[in-house]
Amino acid sequence: MPLKIFVDSWQEKLQYVNNYKQALSNNIFKVISLAAKELQLESYVIGGFVRDYILQRGEHKDIDIVAVGSGIELAKKVSSLLPHKPKVQIFKTYGTAMLRAYDMEVEFVGARKESYSEESRNPEVETGTLEDDQNRRDFTINALALSLNDETYGDLLDPFNGLQDLSAGVIRTPLDPDVTYSDDPLRMLRAIRFASQLQFRIEKDSLQAITRNRNRIKIISRERIVDELNKILLSPKPSVGFSLLHKTGMLGLLLPELTALEGIDEIEGQRHKDNFWHTLEVVDNISENTNDLWLRWAALLHDIGKAPTKKFDENLGWTFHGHEFVGSKMVYKLFKRLKMPLNEKMKFVQKMVYMSSRPIVLSQEVTDSAVRRLIFDAGEDIEDLMTLCEADITTKNPRRYRRYHNNFKVVRQKIKEVEERDHVRNFQPPVSGEEIMETFDLKPSREIGVIKDAIKEAILEGVIPNEYDAAREFMLQKGKEIGLSPK
C-alpha cells in the first residue's frame, strides 16, 4: 500500500506517521522478522498494536502477529532466537501461541479464513492468506497490518481504508455489518466499547446492524460481556458507550435496571428528573476524578433502587423512599446475574449505593455528631463516598451548582476537623469487651454488648470524647444504671 499518499493527505492529523519502521525498531519485531525469514514465511503485526501506535495511545501491551503459515512454529522459532528463551504457550484448539518478551505479550496466529454457524461464535477455520485474515477482523481500524518481511519491512497494509477511518474517528466493519455482527455478536459490544474508548462514532449501517442483531448477544458468555462493560466504564467518557448501548436497544438486554430509570412522569404538574440520563452524567462526572472501576460501577448503579420505589405522594410529590437500601440489594442480584465477583468489590459497590444519600442529608445541617456517624459508617471509604456525592450534582442551575459544591466543601472540611480530633474512622472501642467482663465479673452475655454500644453511641453523639478515661467512667455509670456493680 503506498503509504506516502495517506500521509500526505492526512498530514495534519497523522503528521507523526512518516515511517512505520519507527514503530518496529523495537527488538522483538526484528527477532520475529528474522525468525519468519528462517522459516521462509511472511509475518505481519496486526490489530490493536498498529491501531494504537497510529493513534499514539500509549503503549499497547499485547502484540498480535499473523504468520502466513504456522503461527505456532513461528512462536517457537522466535523463542529459540531470544536470549531468555521464553516459554511458548500453545493453544492447540485455536492454532495460536503466546510468549512474553520485553514486558509484552506476543500472540501468534496463522493467517486464516473463518466460517460461522448460527449457534456459536466459534468459527470453522481453514488456512488462508493475509487478506483472508484481514477479512475476518472486526473493524477496518483493527485490520491494519505492518509488514515484518525484509523487502517491505514497515509497510502498512490497509485494504479497507482503516487509516482513513482512524483519522476520521469511524468504526466500520470490513465486510457486511449484518454478517459481521451476526457471526460473532461480541463484536457489537466491541464496536460500542471502541467508540467509547476512542471517542469514535459508529458508522450508520453498522449502528443499524447492531440494533437489528442485538438479540444475538445472548449467545455470548457473561464473562465476555462484563469484560466489555468494564472497558466501557473505564473509558474517558463512559456515557458515549452507554448511550450507544441504549440507542441500539442492547442496554435493556444487559442492564434492565438502568433502562427502568428512563422517563419522566408528571402528576399534578410535578415532575421528577430522568434518572437514566442523570445517571450517565454522574458516571461521566466521577470519571473525571477516579479511575477506580468499582467506584465507577457504584456511580452507574447508585440510583437503580429508584425505579421500584418510585411513588407519588400528594403532600411530598415524587418520592423514592428507601431506594438506597433497595438499590444495594439489587446490586447483589445484578452482580450474580452477570457472574461478576461476589466479593469485597461487590460489597464496596453495595455500601456506596446504600450510603449514597448520606452526605447530601448531612450537607444541609453539618453537626459534629452527624459527621462522626458518617465517618464511623463509611470508614476507609469516606473519600470515595464524597467523590460519588459530588459527582451526583448535575443541576444545570449555576447558583445551585455552586451552592451544592460549597456545601460539600464544608462537609469535607468538617470531616477533616472531626477526624483529627476524634479518630472515629477505624473506630476501636476505647474500653474492650474483656475489660467490661472483668470489671463487672460477667460471663459473655447480652449486657456486655449493651454497654459497648452505649459507649460507642456516647462517643458518636459527643457526650464523651473518644478516650479511655472518659469511656471507663461512662462504663461504670452505665453498668450501675442497668444494675451491675464492679467486683
Q: Residue 184 binds which entry of ligand ATP, Mg ion, none, with Cβ cut-offs from 5 to 8 Å by kind?
A: ligand ATP
> How far apart are the C-alpha atoms of 56 and 70, rounded to whole Å?
31
Nearer to ligand ATP, 98 or 355 (CB): 98
List, in sequence order, every beta strand (DSSP E) within 214-293. 266-267, 270-271
Nearer to ligand ATP, 45 or 455 (CB): 45
Q: Which of 96, 135, 142, 275 binds ligand ATP (CB under 6 A)?
A: 142
Q: Does residue 105 belong to the site contacting Mg ion (CB under 5 A)?
A: no
CB-count burial class (<10 Å; 0-12, 13-18, 19+) for 73: middle
The least CB distance from residue 399 to ligand ATP, in Å, is 43
CB-count burial class (<10 Å; 0-12, 13-18, 19+) for 336: exposed
Nearer to Mg ion, 64 or 183 (CB): 64
Q: Which grid coordinates are listed for 161?
A: 481504508
Cell 452505649 belongs to 454
> How far apart are the C-alpha atoms of 435 and 441, rounded to whole Å?
9
The residues in 445-464 that bind ligand ATP, with binding defined as CB under 6 A, are none
Q: Does residue 110 belong to the site contacting ligand ATP (CB under 6 A)?
A: no
Q: Does residue 417 belong to the site contacting ligand ATP (CB under 6 A)?
A: no
The residues in 230-249 that bind Mg ion, with binding defined as CB under 5 A, are none
- Cβ-closest residue to Mg ion? 48
Q: Mark residues 61-80: x for contact with Mg ion by CB under 5 A, - for none.
A: -x------------------
Which residues does 335 contact at the CB level (< 8 Å), separation at least 6?
A: 341, 342, 346, 349
Cell 435496571 belongs to 257
429 C-beta neighbours (distance < 10 Å), count: 17
State the sign of the Cα–Cα–Cα–Cα dihedral 146, 150, 151, 153.
Answer: positive
Q: Residue 112 binds which entry of ligand ATP, Mg ion, none, with Cβ cut-offs from 5 to 8 Å by kind?
A: none
> How far apart are the C-alpha atoms of 15 and 19, rounded to whole Å?
10
Q: Does residue 186 belong to the site contacting ligand ATP (CB under 6 A)?
A: yes
Nearer to ligand ATP, 64 or 155 (CB): 64
Nearer to Mg ion, 165 or 284 (CB): 165
The residues in 13-72 that bind ligand ATP, with binding defined as CB under 6 A, are 47-48, 62, 64
Which residues does 304 contact at the CB level (< 8 Å), separation at least 6?
A: 257, 258, 260, 261, 327, 330, 331, 334, 353
Q: Which of 42, 133, 138, 447 binds ligand ATP (CB under 6 A)?
A: 138
Nearer to ligand ATP, 180 or 350 (CB): 180
387 C-beta neighbours (distance < 10 Å), count: 21
Q: Mark residues 43-62: x for contact with Mg ion by CB under 5 A, - for none.
A: -----x-------------x
**Site stretch for ligand ATP (CB under 6 A), options 137-145, 156-164, 204-212, 344-352:** 137-145
Residues that bind ligand ATP in the complex, under the rule CB under 6 A: 47-48, 62, 64, 137-138, 142, 184, 186-187
Residues that bind Mg ion in the complex, under the rule CB under 5 A: 48, 62
